[in-house]
Amino acid sequence: MKEINVSKAMSSNWRYLLFIAVTLILFWALYTWRMALLPFMIGLLLAYLLMPIVKWTEALLPIPDKYAGTRRLISALLVIVVFLGAIALVIIFLVTAIVHGSTSLLNNASQIISSFGSKLTQWTHYIREHLPANMQSEMDTFINNIGTGFISSISGFVGSGSTVFTRISGSFGLLLGFASLPLFVFYLLKDSELIQNNIYSALSPAVAGHTRNIVNIVDKVLGRYLRAQVVTGIIVGIVTYFGLSIIRVPYALPLAFFNGLFAVIPSFGPIIAGVIIVIVVLTEATSKTIGVSILLVVVELAKTLFVVPKITADRLHLHASLVVALLVLGAYFWGVWGVILLVPIVATLVEVFNYIRAVTHNKLTGEPLVILKTGGGPEIMRRRGK
């Protein structure tokens, strides 16, 4: 039996071992300091999303090239102001919709509860009458348990007010980080090229070249992931519009747009959109509330089970079954952050591993390695016989 030379195997595969070690250390650091780094991670993502708009605005400004720094400063400032204004408008819209809907609900509470309760009672009695006798008693027990659990949940929510206040008061540093987020994003947008050049200039030419290629890989994967989220939001908006139109709900188009817009936010987005839509429907068409609620649940289930895995798998070049497994594992081990981050992280690691393998193969065989810049990221190609 042939003996394995461990030292020789490690020396020939040191790049893979280094890649695994750096990846594990990075994951450990991010998880350990996740709350402290959260504002800066969000700032990096916002800067990445806003940078194309900054460059487009910069090209439109009638400022000579010799004042390029001033042009970038004005462009970044305009984009930040417009972005913050858009966020403020969305918040005002949400608050206005909630306040208006809540006021209408309070003013017409007796009528809405009576209509909603009678409709629910009719459906419950209809379903109960068509069930066998033993299942009818089980259904009665189930309904009673739902009522008891609802009351207990309300009591627990009210009783946990002091705990929530304690957590909020203990996260002053996190709130301060979010308060400084606009300034952090502004400086990233204004000096992005300068920051990159300073980082690359501190590295050796060979390391700087590989670092640029890896950054391009991350840019490519992140761009594909964000495009997948946008496509998912469009599909959710279209399906929601047709469903609301069939039910004949007022304001079907704006409600569908709102649902599609928040569908791109994993986990929290559909919940926020669903609550707002249900409040609006309760005030405008109370009898259609149950139908709209069922529609929203069906759309969300279809998005989670079919649309997201398929579109994300196609965009990130991963198999759909792997995407489903990653979503489940991410939700189980890391909750919301696992659902949001695990799929693009794994896709990025696969691309980086392929790049390292191509570089290693190039070192061993002497074949020329060509990095093609296509679609926002590098595509690795080896030319044989040339």
Q: Where are the alpha helices (DSSP H) in 14-67?
A: 14-32, 34-60
Q: How far apart are CA 245 and CA 253, in angstroms?
A: 8
| Residues of the chain falling short of pLDDT 50 | 1, 150, 154, 157-166, 168-170, 370-386
DSSP per residue, 55-117: HHHHHHS---GGGHHHHHHHHHHHHHHHHHHHHHHHHHHHHHHHHHHHHHHHHTHHHHHHHHH
> Which of 202, 218, 240 corresponds to the end of one domain?
202
Q: Residues 241, 376: one domain?
A: yes
Q: Residues 184, 64: one domain?
A: yes
Q: How far apart are CA 242 and CA 359, in angstroms?
A: 50
Q: Residues 115, 264: one domain?
A: no
Q: How far apart are CA 365 and CA 359, in angstroms?
A: 10
216, 373 Cβ separation under 8 angstroms: yes
In a domain, 11, yes or no: no
Which phi and psi (to 5°) does residue 370 adopt?
A: -110, 130
What pLDDT is stored for residue 116 in this prediction?
Answer: 61
Contacts for 244 with CB less than 8 Å, ≥ 6 apart: 252, 255, 256, 292, 295
Q: Residues 229, 286: one domain?
A: yes
What pLDDT is stored for residue 5 in this prediction?
Answer: 60
In a domain, 141, yes or no: no
In a domain, 142, yes or no: no
Q: Residues 221, 302: one domain?
A: yes
What pLDDT is stored for residue 205 in this prediction?
Answer: 82
Number of domains comprising the chain: 2
In a domain, 36, yes or no: no
Q: How far apart are CA 17 and CA 176, in angstroms?
A: 39
Q: How far apart are CA 112 and CA 133, in angstroms?
A: 32
Q: Residues 187, 265: one domain?
A: no
Give the tokens for residue 295: 């529609």
Closest-CA residue to 23 (of 346, 287, 341)? 346
Q: Residues 187, 306: one domain?
A: no
Q: Residues 363, 246: one domain?
A: yes
Cα distances (Å, whole numbers) of residue 239 to 234, 282, 312, 318: 9, 21, 18, 25
pLDDT in tens, 100-141: 766 766 666 666 666 666 666 666 666 667 666 666 666 666
Q: How far apart are CA 171 and CA 55, in angstroms?
A: 36
What pLDDT is stored for residue 114 in this prediction?
Answer: 64
Q: Residues 56, 194: one domain?
A: yes
In a domain, 245, yes or no: yes
Q: Residues 82, 185: one domain?
A: yes
Q: Residues 184, 248: one domain?
A: no
> Which of 202, 234, 249 corresponds to the end of one domain?
202
What pLDDT is stored for residue 111 in this prediction?
Answer: 64
Which phi and psi (to 5°) does residue 295 adopt?
A: -60, -45
234, 289 Cβ separation under 8 angstroms: no
What pLDDT is stored for residue 131 in this prediction?
Answer: 66
Range of the domain at 345: 206-386
Q: How far apart are CA 126 and CA 124, in angstroms?
A: 5
Q: For every residue of 131-159, which 3-state class applies, written as one string? A: CCHHHHHHHHHHHHHHHHHHHHHHHHHHH
In a domain, 340, yes or no: yes
In a domain, 365, yes or no: yes
In a domain, 147, yes or no: no
Q: Residues 193, 268: one domain?
A: no
What pLDDT is stored for residue 32 in this prediction?
Answer: 78
Q: How far apart are CA 30 and CA 92, in angstroms?
A: 33
